[in-house]
Amino acid sequence: MQETLIQYLVPCAAVFAAGLAGALCKRNVLVVFMCIELMLCSSLAAFVMFSVAYADSVGAAFALFVFAIAACEVAVGLALVVQLFKLKSTVALDRYNSLGD
């Protein structure tokens, strides 16, 4: 590791902040979902960076769990998006304002 830990964490934090901003502000369910993925991705990268900084494999092993969780989350989330799209024929979050048919 040539750069310091802080320098590696800066891009991770920036990606997390962008993801958080997008998840709170965007009006498209697919983009909101992508932003949630970005947050997960950046925290995973931070795990690995800490693992590298301390030369310890626990962080990298934990990253593997995060990969599995991310895969599950994407599969279930996208199935839900597809069902919502079938129901309302749109992906705009503003239109999902009622729970019933």
Partner 1 sequence: MSVLFCLFSACAVCGALGVILVKNYFNSLMCMLLCTLGLGCLMIYAGAAFAGILMIMIYAGAIMVLFMFVVMLVGDDNSNACLRCRIKLIVMWALMMLFAMLLAPECAELKASVAAQESVAAALSAKSCGVELFSRFLLPFQITGALLLAAMVGVIVVAQDKPRARKYKRDMI
Binding site for partner 1 (CB under 8 A): 1-3, 7-8, 10-12, 14-15, 18-19, 21-22, 25-26, 28, 30-31, 34-35, 37-38, 41-42, 44-45, 48-49, 51-52, 55-58, 60-65, 67-72, 74-76, 78-83, 85, 91
Give the nearest distance from C-beta 97 to partner 1 in angstroms. 19
Task: Give Dmax (Cα) for the chain.
Answer: 57
Give the nearest distance from C-beta 96 to partner 1 in angstroms. 14
Q: Which of 64/97 has CB closer to partner 1?
A: 64
Give the nearest distance from C-beta 27 to partner 1 in angstroms. 11
In Å, what is the CA distance from 32 to each residue of 6, 11, 52, 68, 82?
A: 28, 20, 30, 20, 14
Give the nearest distance from C-beta 56 to partner 1 in angstroms. 6
How far from chain centre, in Å, is Cα 88?
Answer: 25
Tokens of 64: 């593997």
Are 51 and 41 in contact, with CB atoms under 8 Å apart?
no
